[in-house]
Amino acid sequence: MKIQSLSLMVRSDAGDPQIMENVEKRYERHGRVKPCAINRSDIFALGQIIQETFSKPEIERYFRISTTLKHTRVFSNSTEHLLNQPELGDRMADLSFWIEGWDQKTRFDKNILLDFSKYSIQLSVEGTDPVWVYDKYNKLTNYLKSKTAWYWPIIIMEKIIMFCITIILLANIIIAVKKGNPFHYLDKIGLLMVWMFLVFYDTRKIWPYSNIRLKEDKLYLSRENVVMYVMILIIIIAISGGTILPFVH
């Protein structure tokens, strides 16, 4: 979506019929990005894309990459220096890139903000050159699209999934009551636990918007995968044992 911000300055001199008007245009692109899974090399690649077209003095003075370590915000103008902090650990979900440029004529020239967190990924690009703004925005979004996390449908459709599980749970309880066999309640307990997990637990701790791995691990044994396997298994057992089999018998 294109958002154009205009700053209008009008100056009039007494006795002068001519009105001098100066108009400054600032072009902006703002948007949210789908959940991403990136690694150490991706962070360097994003930093390189962001720093393109900025001069060396601008990068040294205005480029910042930051994260949070034990409730303290840590900044650096070097991606490598920040990632070499021993306190970072193997994974994180909080990371921000920020840079701005200045022009002698217009003062403000351009700036970029890319912010990763557990709950969202925000990208903001502003500048006086519309071609630069749209080109930079598209480069960053296209790169991040290639790093979309496999579990993004869970986050986007979380409410729909919760609604479907609620319907299945209610249907299974009704069937179990009609059957009158306590054995039919066992699978309902597992399905109820899944429902309570989705409703009351902060699932972004399992499936964050930004899943940043500084050290590679075995993907099939990752936390988000294991939780997903368990949830799918419980739902399959609940549907087959509590809904399908009672009708078959």
**Domain locations in the chain?**
3-145, 152-248
pLDDT band at 95 (very low <50, low <70, confident <90, very high): very high
E-strand ranges in the chain read 3-11, 20-32, 36-39, 64-69, 72-76, 91-92, 95-103, 107-116, 121-127, 210-213
Residue with tokens 């429902």: 195
User: How high is the pLDDT of residue 122?
Assistant: 96
Query: Identity (one letter) of the amino acid at 90?
Result: D
What are 135-189's pLDDT values in tens digits?
A: 999 999 999 999 999 888 888 887 787 777 777 777 777 766 666 665 556 666 6
Count CA atoms within 13 Å of residue 157 on its CB side.
Answer: 8
Written as six digits, the tokens of 129 are 């050159």
Longest dimension (CA), the chain: 98
pTM for the predicted model, two decimal places: 0.73
Q: Computed over its alpha carbons, how large is the radius of gyration of the chain? A: 26
Which letter does DSSP use for residue 221 in this model? G
Nearest to 37 by CA among 114, 113, 116: 116
Tokens 């502003």 locate to: 126
Report yes or no: 107 and 10 within 8 Å, Cβ to Cβ.
Answer: no
- Per-residue pLDDT at 22: 62
Which pLDDT does position 235 carry in this prediction?
Answer: 66
Reduced to 3 states (helix: H, G, I; strand: E, B; else coil), residue 129 is: coil
Asked whether 95 and 139 are in contact (CB, 8 A), the reply is: no
86 band by pLDDT with thresholds 50, 70 and 90: confident
The tokens for 130 are 């519309």
88 closest CA partner among 100, 70, 75:
70
Q: Which residue has the higher pLDDT, 176 or 13?
A: 176
The chain-wide mean pLDDT, for the chain, equals: 78
Among 97, 91, 107, 198, which Cα is nearest to 155's? Answer: 198
